[in-house]
Protein backbone atom coordinates (compact mmCIF):
# COMPACT_ATOMS: atom_id res chain seq x y z
CA UNK A 1 0.00 0.00 0.00
CA UNK A 2 1.20 3.54 -0.73
CA UNK A 3 1.50 6.17 1.97
CA UNK A 4 1.78 9.93 1.86
CA UNK A 5 4.59 11.89 3.50
CA UNK A 6 2.49 14.70 4.92
CA UNK A 7 5.53 16.93 5.34
CA UNK A 8 6.39 16.87 1.63
CA UNK A 9 2.76 16.94 0.44
CA UNK A 10 1.32 20.15 -1.04
CA UNK A 11 -2.26 18.76 -1.09
CA UNK A 12 -2.73 19.35 -4.84
CA UNK A 13 -4.90 16.27 -5.34
CA UNK A 14 -2.86 14.86 -8.25
CA UNK A 15 -2.81 11.44 -6.58
CA UNK A 16 -6.62 11.48 -6.40
CA UNK A 17 -6.84 12.25 -10.13
CA UNK A 18 -4.81 9.21 -11.20
CA UNK A 19 -5.97 6.74 -8.55
CA UNK A 20 -7.61 3.92 -10.50
CA UNK A 21 -9.50 2.63 -7.45
CA UNK A 22 -10.68 5.87 -5.85
CA UNK A 23 -8.65 4.91 -2.82
CA UNK A 24 -7.25 8.36 -2.04
CA UNK A 25 -8.93 11.43 -0.59
CA UNK A 26 -7.30 14.79 0.09
CA UNK A 27 -8.68 16.83 2.93
CA UNK A 28 -7.32 20.28 3.40
CA UNK A 29 -4.09 19.32 5.11
CA UNK A 30 -4.39 15.55 5.14
CA UNK A 31 -4.13 12.79 2.53
CA UNK A 32 -5.92 9.56 3.33
CA UNK A 33 -5.26 6.27 1.52
CA UNK A 34 -7.84 3.52 1.95
CA UNK A 35 -5.82 0.31 2.50
CA UNK A 36 -8.79 -1.86 1.49
CA UNK A 37 -8.99 -0.26 -1.94
CA UNK A 38 -5.35 0.50 -2.75
CA UNK A 39 -3.94 -2.01 -5.26
CA UNK A 40 -0.42 -0.59 -5.11
CA UNK A 41 -0.40 0.33 -8.82
CA UNK A 42 1.93 3.26 -8.22
CA UNK A 43 0.11 5.81 -10.43
CA UNK A 44 0.09 8.31 -7.56
CA UNK A 45 3.80 7.81 -6.91
CA UNK A 46 4.55 8.47 -10.60
CA UNK A 47 2.65 11.75 -10.90
CA UNK A 48 3.20 13.29 -7.46
CA UNK A 49 5.05 16.53 -8.29
CA UNK A 50 6.84 16.66 -4.93
CA UNK A 51 7.63 12.99 -4.30
CA UNK A 52 5.33 12.73 -1.29
CA UNK A 53 3.70 9.45 -2.29
CA UNK A 54 5.72 6.31 -1.69
CA UNK A 55 5.88 2.82 -0.31
CA UNK A 56 6.99 2.50 3.29
CA UNK B 1 -25.06 36.05 3.90
CA UNK B 2 -27.44 33.64 2.27
CA UNK B 3 -28.06 30.39 4.12
CA UNK B 4 -27.76 27.11 2.28
CA UNK B 5 -31.29 26.32 1.17
CA UNK B 6 -32.48 22.90 0.11
CA UNK B 7 -33.70 23.11 -3.43
CA UNK B 8 -31.77 24.51 -6.39
CA UNK B 9 -31.95 24.27 -10.13
CA UNK B 10 -28.21 23.80 -10.42
CA UNK B 11 -25.55 22.71 -7.92
CA UNK B 12 -21.99 23.50 -9.00
CA UNK B 13 -19.23 21.36 -7.49
CA UNK B 14 -16.07 23.46 -7.29
CA UNK B 15 -15.53 27.22 -7.24
CA UNK B 16 -12.65 27.54 -9.72
CA UNK B 17 -12.85 29.19 -13.16
CA UNK B 18 -15.08 26.45 -14.64
CA UNK B 19 -17.49 26.44 -11.70
CA UNK B 20 -17.71 30.21 -11.47
CA UNK B 21 -18.17 30.63 -15.23
CA UNK B 22 -20.92 27.98 -15.21
CA UNK B 23 -22.65 29.56 -12.21
CA UNK B 24 -22.52 33.03 -13.72
CA UNK B 25 -24.04 31.92 -17.02
CA UNK B 26 -26.73 29.80 -15.36
CA UNK B 27 -27.72 32.53 -12.89
CA UNK B 28 -27.85 35.09 -15.70
CA UNK B 29 -30.18 32.73 -17.56
CA UNK B 30 -32.52 32.85 -14.56
CA UNK B 31 -31.66 29.65 -12.68
CA UNK B 32 -31.32 29.26 -8.91
CA UNK B 33 -27.67 28.27 -8.53
CA UNK B 34 -25.39 27.28 -5.65
CA UNK B 35 -21.60 26.79 -5.83
CA UNK B 36 -19.73 24.60 -3.32
CA UNK B 37 -16.02 25.22 -2.80
CA UNK B 38 -14.05 22.91 -0.57
CA UNK B 39 -11.25 25.39 0.23
CA UNK B 40 -11.68 28.26 2.68
CA UNK B 41 -11.06 30.85 -0.05
CA UNK B 42 -11.98 31.38 -3.68
CA UNK B 43 -8.78 31.75 -5.73
CA UNK B 44 -6.46 29.72 -3.49
CA UNK B 45 -4.45 27.62 -3.75
CA UNK B 46 -3.23 28.87 -7.14
CA UNK B 47 -2.92 25.85 -9.40
CA UNK B 48 -1.80 27.49 -12.63
CA UNK B 49 0.80 29.72 -14.24
CA UNK B 50 -1.58 32.70 -14.14
CA UNK B 51 -1.29 33.25 -17.88
CA UNK B 52 -4.74 34.27 -19.09
CA UNK B 53 -5.97 34.63 -22.64
CA UNK B 54 -8.04 37.67 -23.64
CA UNK B 55 -10.67 35.37 -25.07
CA UNK B 56 -11.39 34.10 -21.53
CA UNK B 57 -12.24 37.65 -20.48
CA UNK B 58 -14.50 38.09 -23.49
CA UNK B 59 -16.37 34.87 -22.61
CA UNK B 60 -16.89 36.04 -19.05
CA UNK B 61 -17.73 39.61 -20.01
CA UNK B 62 -14.91 40.88 -17.78
CA UNK B 63 -12.78 43.95 -18.46
CA UNK B 64 -9.06 43.99 -17.63
CA UNK B 65 -8.74 45.54 -14.18
CA UNK B 66 -5.77 47.11 -12.44
CA UNK B 67 -6.71 45.05 -9.41
CA UNK B 68 -5.58 41.79 -11.01
CA UNK B 69 -3.80 42.47 -14.30
CA UNK B 70 -0.19 41.74 -13.35
CA UNK B 71 1.87 42.18 -16.49
CA UNK B 72 1.60 42.24 -20.28
CA UNK B 73 4.46 41.01 -22.44
CA UNK B 74 5.22 40.87 -26.15
CA UNK B 75 8.18 38.58 -26.48
CA UNK B 76 8.61 34.85 -25.97
CA UNK B 77 12.08 33.35 -25.84
CA UNK B 78 12.62 29.64 -26.48
CA UNK B 79 15.91 28.13 -25.34
CA UNK B 80 17.23 24.68 -26.33
CA UNK B 81 19.09 22.36 -23.95
CA UNK B 82 22.32 23.48 -25.64
CA UNK B 83 21.53 27.17 -25.08
CA UNK B 84 20.51 28.08 -28.65
CA UNK B 85 17.59 30.46 -28.60
CA UNK B 86 14.87 31.98 -30.72
CA UNK B 87 12.90 35.10 -29.92
CA UNK B 88 9.30 35.44 -31.02
CA UNK B 89 8.09 39.00 -30.91
CA UNK B 90 4.51 40.29 -31.16
CA UNK B 91 4.01 43.60 -32.97
CA UNK B 92 3.86 46.73 -30.80
CA UNK B 93 0.66 48.12 -32.28
CA UNK B 94 -1.74 45.28 -31.38
CA UNK B 95 -3.19 44.05 -28.09
CA UNK B 96 -0.75 41.39 -26.96
CA UNK B 97 -2.43 38.07 -26.28
CA UNK B 98 0.09 37.46 -23.52
CA UNK B 99 -0.58 38.64 -20.01
CA UNK B 100 -0.34 37.37 -16.47
CA UNK B 101 -2.84 37.96 -13.70
CA UNK B 102 -3.01 37.79 -9.94
CA UNK B 103 -5.20 34.74 -10.00
CA UNK B 104 -6.27 35.01 -6.37
CA UNK B 105 -7.74 38.44 -7.00
CA UNK B 106 -9.05 37.68 -10.49
CA UNK B 107 -11.01 34.69 -9.28
CA UNK B 108 -12.51 36.67 -6.42
CA UNK B 109 -13.53 39.33 -8.94
CA UNK B 110 -15.24 36.62 -10.98
CA UNK B 111 -16.91 35.32 -7.80
CA UNK B 112 -18.27 38.83 -7.21
CA UNK B 113 -19.87 38.78 -10.68
CA UNK B 114 -21.34 35.36 -9.92
CA UNK B 115 -22.76 36.63 -6.66
CA UNK B 116 -24.14 39.75 -8.36
CA UNK B 117 -25.82 37.52 -10.95
CA UNK B 118 -27.78 35.99 -8.06
CA UNK B 119 -25.96 32.70 -7.43
CA UNK B 120 -24.89 31.60 -3.94
CA UNK B 121 -21.24 30.65 -3.32
CA UNK B 122 -20.37 28.61 -0.22
CA UNK B 123 -16.72 28.10 0.79
CA UNK B 124 -15.48 25.39 3.19
CA UNK B 125 -18.16 23.19 1.69
CA UNK B 126 -16.98 19.76 0.57
CA UNK B 127 -19.25 17.78 -1.70
CA UNK B 128 -19.06 14.23 -0.33
CA UNK B 129 -21.36 12.40 -2.70
CA UNK B 130 -24.33 12.55 -5.05
CA UNK B 131 -27.87 12.05 -3.86
CA UNK B 132 -29.64 9.50 -6.03
CA UNK B 133 -33.31 8.59 -6.02
CA UNK B 134 -34.27 5.44 -7.98
CA UNK B 135 -30.81 5.66 -9.53
CA UNK B 136 -31.34 9.25 -10.69
CA UNK B 137 -29.05 12.04 -9.55
CA UNK B 138 -31.11 14.61 -7.69
CA UNK B 139 -28.59 16.61 -5.65
CA UNK B 140 -25.43 16.51 -3.57
CA UNK B 141 -24.38 15.64 -0.05
CA UNK B 142 -22.29 18.43 1.38
CA UNK B 143 -20.16 18.72 4.51
CA UNK B 144 -20.02 22.33 5.61
CA UNK B 145 -18.39 23.24 8.93
CA UNK B 146 -18.83 19.74 10.31
CA UNK B 147 -22.49 19.73 9.34
CA UNK B 148 -23.81 17.21 6.81
CA UNK B 149 -26.37 18.69 4.45
CA UNK B 150 -28.46 17.36 1.60
CA UNK B 151 -28.98 19.85 -1.18
CA UNK B 152 -31.38 18.98 -3.98
CA UNK B 153 -30.67 20.12 -7.52
CA UNK B 154 -32.10 19.36 -10.95
CA UNK B 155 -28.66 19.36 -12.57
CA UNK B 156 -25.18 18.96 -11.03
CA UNK B 157 -22.22 20.60 -12.77
CA UNK B 158 -18.95 18.85 -11.88
CA UNK B 159 -16.21 21.47 -11.93
CA UNK B 160 -14.01 19.69 -9.40
CA UNK B 161 -10.76 19.68 -11.32
CA UNK B 162 -8.42 16.97 -12.66
CA UNK B 163 -9.68 13.45 -12.06
CA UNK B 164 -13.18 14.67 -11.15
CA UNK B 165 -14.15 12.62 -8.08
CA UNK B 166 -17.78 13.70 -8.54
CA UNK B 167 -17.79 12.55 -12.16
CA UNK B 168 -16.53 9.15 -11.08
CA UNK B 169 -19.28 8.90 -8.49
CA UNK B 170 -21.71 9.38 -11.38
CA UNK B 171 -20.06 6.48 -13.20
CA UNK B 172 -18.20 8.54 -15.78
CA UNK B 173 -14.90 6.97 -16.85
CA UNK B 174 -12.03 9.34 -16.14
CA UNK B 175 -8.53 8.48 -17.45
CA UNK B 176 -6.14 7.50 -14.64
CA UNK B 177 -3.00 6.55 -16.57
CA UNK B 178 -0.08 8.75 -15.48
CA UNK B 179 0.85 9.14 -19.17
CA UNK B 180 -2.33 11.16 -19.60
CA UNK B 181 -1.39 13.72 -17.00
CA UNK B 182 1.30 16.39 -16.65
CA UNK B 183 2.96 16.97 -13.29
CA UNK B 184 3.79 20.58 -12.66
CA UNK B 185 5.72 22.44 -9.98
CA UNK B 186 5.95 26.20 -9.86
CA UNK B 187 7.60 28.83 -7.70
CA UNK B 188 6.73 32.46 -7.47
CA UNK B 189 10.18 34.01 -7.38
CA UNK B 190 10.80 37.55 -6.13
CA UNK B 191 13.87 39.70 -6.62
CA UNK B 192 14.90 38.14 -9.91
CA UNK B 193 16.58 39.85 -12.82
CA UNK B 194 14.46 39.11 -15.90
CA UNK B 195 13.04 41.06 -18.83
CA UNK B 196 9.44 41.77 -17.81
CA UNK B 197 8.43 42.13 -21.47
CA UNK B 198 9.39 38.52 -22.16
CA UNK B 199 8.06 35.08 -21.32
CA UNK B 200 10.54 32.23 -21.59
CA UNK B 201 10.38 28.52 -22.32
CA UNK B 202 13.53 26.52 -21.63
CA UNK B 203 13.89 22.92 -22.69
CA UNK B 204 16.12 21.98 -19.79
CA UNK B 205 17.85 19.63 -19.37
CA UNK B 206 16.23 17.72 -22.29
CA UNK B 207 13.56 18.43 -24.94
CA UNK B 208 11.12 16.52 -22.71
CA UNK B 209 11.64 18.84 -19.76
CA UNK B 210 9.74 22.09 -20.15
CA UNK B 211 10.63 24.99 -17.86
CA UNK B 212 8.86 28.32 -18.15
CA UNK B 213 9.19 31.86 -16.85
CA UNK B 214 6.04 34.00 -16.82
CA UNK B 215 6.85 37.58 -15.80
CA UNK B 216 4.44 39.17 -13.34
CA UNK B 217 6.03 42.62 -13.26
CA UNK B 218 8.22 44.37 -10.70
CA UNK B 219 10.95 41.74 -10.57
CA UNK B 220 8.87 38.74 -9.87
CA UNK B 221 7.61 35.84 -11.95
CA UNK B 222 6.06 32.42 -11.98
CA UNK B 223 8.79 29.93 -12.76
CA UNK B 224 7.70 26.39 -13.34
CA UNK B 225 8.48 22.95 -14.67
CA UNK B 226 6.13 20.49 -16.27
CA UNK B 227 6.31 17.17 -18.02
CA UNK B 228 4.46 13.91 -18.33
CA UNK B 229 4.06 12.01 -15.10
CA UNK B 230 6.68 9.65 -16.46
CA UNK B 231 9.32 12.41 -16.59
CA UNK B 232 12.99 12.39 -15.68
CA UNK B 233 12.46 13.09 -11.99
CA UNK B 234 9.93 14.70 -9.65
CA UNK B 235 8.68 18.02 -10.99
CA UNK B 236 9.89 19.95 -7.95
CA UNK B 237 13.39 18.42 -8.17
CA UNK B 238 13.59 19.34 -11.86
CA UNK B 239 12.39 22.86 -11.07
CA UNK B 240 15.05 23.25 -8.38
CA UNK B 241 17.64 22.17 -10.94
CA UNK B 242 16.43 24.76 -13.45
CA UNK B 243 16.37 27.61 -10.94
CA UNK B 244 19.89 26.77 -9.73
CA UNK B 245 21.20 26.59 -13.30
CA UNK B 246 20.00 30.11 -14.24
CA UNK B 247 21.87 32.82 -12.27
CA UNK B 248 19.08 35.36 -12.87
CA UNK B 249 16.67 33.07 -11.03
CA UNK B 250 19.06 31.63 -8.46
CA UNK B 251 19.44 35.05 -6.79
CA UNK B 252 15.69 35.31 -6.09
CA UNK B 253 13.57 34.12 -3.19
CA UNK B 254 10.77 31.59 -3.38
CA UNK B 255 7.68 33.41 -2.11
CA UNK B 256 5.12 30.76 -3.04
CA UNK B 257 5.13 27.13 -4.18
CA UNK B 258 2.33 25.72 -6.34
CA UNK B 259 2.06 22.17 -7.62
CA UNK B 260 -0.52 20.23 -9.55
CA UNK B 261 -1.43 17.55 -12.02
CA UNK B 262 -3.33 18.33 -15.24
CA UNK B 263 -4.96 16.09 -17.88
CA UNK B 264 -3.21 16.31 -21.26
CA UNK B 265 -5.06 13.71 -23.30
CA UNK B 266 -7.75 16.13 -24.49
CA UNK B 267 -11.41 16.26 -23.55
CA UNK B 268 -12.54 12.96 -21.99
CA UNK B 269 -14.58 10.48 -24.05
CA UNK B 270 -17.50 10.91 -21.69
CA UNK B 271 -18.25 14.10 -19.80
CA UNK B 272 -21.90 13.61 -18.84
CA UNK B 273 -24.39 11.39 -17.09
CA UNK B 274 -28.13 11.92 -16.68
CA UNK B 275 -28.43 15.24 -14.80
CA UNK B 276 -24.67 15.70 -14.40
CA UNK B 277 -22.15 17.45 -16.64
CA UNK B 278 -18.40 17.87 -16.20
CA UNK B 279 -16.76 21.16 -17.12
CA UNK B 280 -13.15 22.39 -17.37
CA UNK B 281 -10.20 20.39 -16.01
CA UNK B 282 -12.67 17.78 -14.70
CA UNK B 283 -13.67 17.09 -18.31
CA UNK B 284 -10.09 17.18 -19.66
CA UNK B 285 -10.56 20.59 -21.29
CA UNK B 286 -6.88 21.50 -21.14
CA UNK B 287 -4.51 22.32 -24.00
CA UNK B 288 -2.38 19.13 -24.33
CA UNK B 289 0.78 21.13 -25.08
CA UNK B 290 0.66 24.31 -23.02
CA UNK B 291 -1.59 22.90 -20.26
CA UNK B 292 -3.59 26.13 -20.51
CA UNK B 293 -7.02 25.56 -19.02
CA UNK B 294 -8.63 28.80 -17.94
CA UNK B 295 -9.83 29.93 -21.34
CA UNK B 296 -11.38 26.53 -22.02
CA UNK B 297 -12.98 26.48 -18.59
CA UNK B 298 -14.41 29.93 -19.26
CA UNK B 299 -15.69 28.95 -22.70
CA UNK B 300 -17.17 25.64 -21.55
CA UNK B 301 -18.51 27.03 -18.28
CA UNK B 302 -20.57 29.68 -20.02
CA UNK B 303 -22.01 27.06 -22.43
CA UNK B 304 -22.55 24.49 -19.68
CA UNK B 305 -24.46 26.99 -17.54
CA UNK B 306 -26.78 27.91 -20.40
CA UNK B 307 -27.13 24.31 -21.55
CA UNK B 308 -28.11 23.17 -18.06
CA UNK B 309 -30.78 25.88 -17.84
CA UNK B 310 -32.18 24.99 -21.28
CA UNK B 311 -32.16 21.31 -20.35
CA UNK B 312 -34.11 21.99 -17.16
CA UNK B 313 -36.62 24.18 -19.00
CA UNK B 314 -37.14 21.47 -21.64
CA UNK B 315 -37.39 18.74 -19.02
CA UNK B 316 -34.56 16.81 -20.68
CA UNK B 317 -31.29 16.76 -18.75
CA UNK B 318 -30.27 13.41 -20.16
CA UNK B 319 -26.71 12.25 -20.61
CA UNK B 320 -27.02 12.75 -24.37
CA UNK B 321 -28.43 16.25 -24.13
CA UNK B 322 -25.77 17.45 -21.67
CA UNK B 323 -23.08 15.62 -23.62
CA UNK B 324 -23.78 18.08 -26.46
CA UNK B 325 -21.20 20.26 -24.73
CA UNK B 326 -18.49 17.78 -25.69
CA UNK B 327 -19.53 17.89 -29.36
CA UNK B 328 -19.50 21.69 -29.37
CA UNK B 329 -16.12 21.72 -27.65
CA UNK B 330 -14.67 19.27 -30.17
CA UNK B 331 -16.07 21.23 -33.10
CA UNK B 332 -14.27 24.34 -31.94
CA UNK B 333 -11.11 23.01 -30.30
CA UNK B 334 -10.84 19.31 -31.27
CA UNK B 335 -8.51 19.74 -34.25
CA UNK B 336 -6.33 22.18 -32.40
CA UNK B 337 -6.04 19.87 -29.40
CA UNK B 338 -5.07 16.94 -31.61
CA UNK B 339 -2.46 19.13 -33.25
CA UNK B 340 -1.08 20.35 -29.93
CA UNK B 341 -0.89 16.74 -28.80
CA UNK B 342 1.06 15.82 -31.95
CA UNK B 343 3.34 18.81 -31.43
CA UNK B 344 4.13 17.70 -27.89
CA UNK B 345 4.85 14.14 -29.01
CA UNK B 346 7.10 15.48 -31.78
CA UNK B 347 9.06 17.81 -29.50
CA UNK B 348 9.49 15.08 -26.90
CA UNK B 349 10.95 12.82 -29.58
CA UNK B 350 13.56 15.34 -30.74
CA UNK B 351 17.27 15.22 -30.00
CA UNK B 352 18.73 18.25 -28.22
CA UNK B 353 20.67 19.16 -31.41
CA UNK B 354 17.35 19.20 -33.34
CA UNK B 355 16.12 22.01 -31.11
CA UNK B 356 19.45 23.81 -31.58
CA UNK B 357 19.00 23.66 -35.35
CA UNK B 358 15.34 24.68 -35.20
CA UNK B 359 15.92 27.69 -32.98
CA UNK B 360 19.00 28.79 -34.92
CA UNK B 361 16.92 28.61 -38.10
CA UNK B 362 14.10 30.66 -36.59
CA UNK B 363 16.34 33.35 -35.07
CA UNK B 364 14.37 36.47 -34.29
CA UNK B 365 10.75 35.98 -35.42
CA UNK B 366 8.62 39.08 -35.77
CA UNK B 367 4.98 38.06 -35.96
CA UNK B 368 3.26 40.36 -38.48
CA UNK B 369 0.40 42.52 -37.20
CA UNK B 370 -1.99 41.30 -39.91
CA UNK B 371 -2.18 37.91 -38.19
CA UNK B 372 -3.88 39.55 -35.24
CA UNK B 373 -6.86 40.61 -37.31
CA UNK B 374 -9.81 38.29 -37.63
CA UNK B 375 -10.00 34.88 -36.11
CA UNK B 376 -6.60 33.48 -37.06
CA UNK B 377 -4.28 33.01 -34.18
CA UNK B 378 -0.64 33.95 -34.54
CA UNK B 379 0.71 30.99 -32.58
CA UNK B 380 1.21 28.94 -35.74
CA UNK B 381 3.36 31.54 -37.43
CA UNK B 382 6.77 30.34 -36.17
CA UNK B 383 5.86 26.81 -37.15
CA UNK B 384 5.21 27.87 -40.71
CA UNK B 385 8.71 29.31 -40.82
CA UNK B 386 10.12 25.88 -40.10
CA UNK B 387 9.20 24.78 -43.63
CA UNK B 388 12.48 26.32 -44.80
CA UNK B 389 14.35 24.11 -42.36
CA UNK B 390 13.10 20.97 -44.10
CA UNK B 391 14.91 22.08 -47.24
CA UNK B 392 18.11 23.05 -45.43
CA UNK B 393 18.30 19.94 -43.27
CA UNK B 394 16.47 17.00 -44.83
CA UNK B 395 16.58 14.93 -41.62
CA UNK B 396 13.75 17.15 -40.38
CA UNK B 397 11.43 15.86 -43.12
CA UNK B 398 10.75 12.76 -41.09
CA UNK B 399 10.66 14.59 -37.77
CA UNK B 400 8.59 17.65 -38.60
CA UNK B 401 7.06 17.02 -42.01
CA UNK B 402 3.79 15.41 -40.81
CA UNK B 403 3.38 18.13 -38.20
CA UNK B 404 3.77 21.03 -40.60
CA UNK B 405 1.26 19.33 -42.88
CA UNK B 406 -1.18 18.81 -40.00
CA UNK B 407 -0.95 22.51 -39.13
CA UNK B 408 -2.81 23.36 -42.33
CA UNK B 409 -5.95 21.71 -41.04
CA UNK B 410 -5.93 23.76 -37.86
CA UNK B 411 -4.77 27.18 -38.86
**Contact between chains at A14 and B257 (C-beta distance less than 8 A):** no
Q: Which among A13, A18, A27 has CB closest to B176?
A: A18
Task: Note the ipTM here.
Answer: 0.96
Residue pLDDT, tens place only, B240-280: 999 999 999 999 999 999 999 999 999 999 999 999 999 99
Q: Which of B38, B125, B129, B165 to mutate to test the interface with A (most CBs of A within 10 A)?
A: B165
**Contact between chains at B181 and A18 (C-beta distance less than 8 A):** yes
How many angstroms separate the CA of residue B33 from the nearest CA in chain A?
A: 25
The size of the A-B interface in CB pairs under 8 A is 78
**Contact between chains at B259 and A19 (C-beta distance less than 8 A):** no
Stated pTM of the model: 0.95
Give the 3-state secondary structure of chain B: CCCCCCEEEEEEECCCHHHHHHHHHHHHCCCCEEEECCCCCCCCCCCCCCEECHHHHHHHCCCCCCCCEEEECCEEEEECCCCCEEEEECCCCCCCCCEEECHHHHHHHHHHHHHHCCCEEECCEEEEEEEEECCEEEEEEEEECCEEEEEEEEEEEECCCCCCHHHHHCCCCCCCCHHHEEEEEEEEEECCCCCCCEEEEEECCCCCCEEEEEECCCCEEEEEEEEECCCCCCHHHHHHHHHHHCHHHHCCEEEEEEEEEEECCCCCCCCEECCEEECHHHHCCCCCCCCCCHHHHHHHHHHHHHHHHHHHHHCCCCHHHHCHHHHHHHHHHHHHHHHHHHHHHHHHCCCHHHHHHHHHHHCEEECCHHHHCCCCCHHHHHHHHCHHHHHHCCHHHHHHHHHHHHHHHHC
B402–chain A Cβ distance below 8 A for any pair = no
User: Is the pLDDT assigned to residue B11 strictly greater than 80?
Assistant: yes
pLDDT of residue B130: 98
How confident is residue B368, by pLDDT bands cut at 50, 70 and 90?
A: confident
Residue of higher predicted confidence among B219 and B86: B86
**Contact between chains at B163 and A28 (C-beta distance less than 8 A):** no
How confident is residue B121, by pLDDT bands cut at 50, 70 and 90?
A: very high
How many angstroms separate the CA of residue A35 from the nearest CA in chain B?
A: 18
Amino acid sequence: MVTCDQEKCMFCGGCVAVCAKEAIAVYELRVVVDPERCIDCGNCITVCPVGAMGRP
Amino acid sequence: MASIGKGYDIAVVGGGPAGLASAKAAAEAGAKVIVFEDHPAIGTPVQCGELLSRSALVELDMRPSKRWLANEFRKVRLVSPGGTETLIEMPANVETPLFTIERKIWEKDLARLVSEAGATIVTRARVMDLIKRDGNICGVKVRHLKEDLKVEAKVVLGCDGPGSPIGRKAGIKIPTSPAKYASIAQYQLAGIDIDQDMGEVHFYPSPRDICYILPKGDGYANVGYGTLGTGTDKAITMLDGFVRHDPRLAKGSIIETNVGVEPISGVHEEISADRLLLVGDAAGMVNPLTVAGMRFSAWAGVRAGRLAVDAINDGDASKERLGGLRDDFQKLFGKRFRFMDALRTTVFGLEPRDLDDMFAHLGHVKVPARLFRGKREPVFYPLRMLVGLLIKKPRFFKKLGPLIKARRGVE
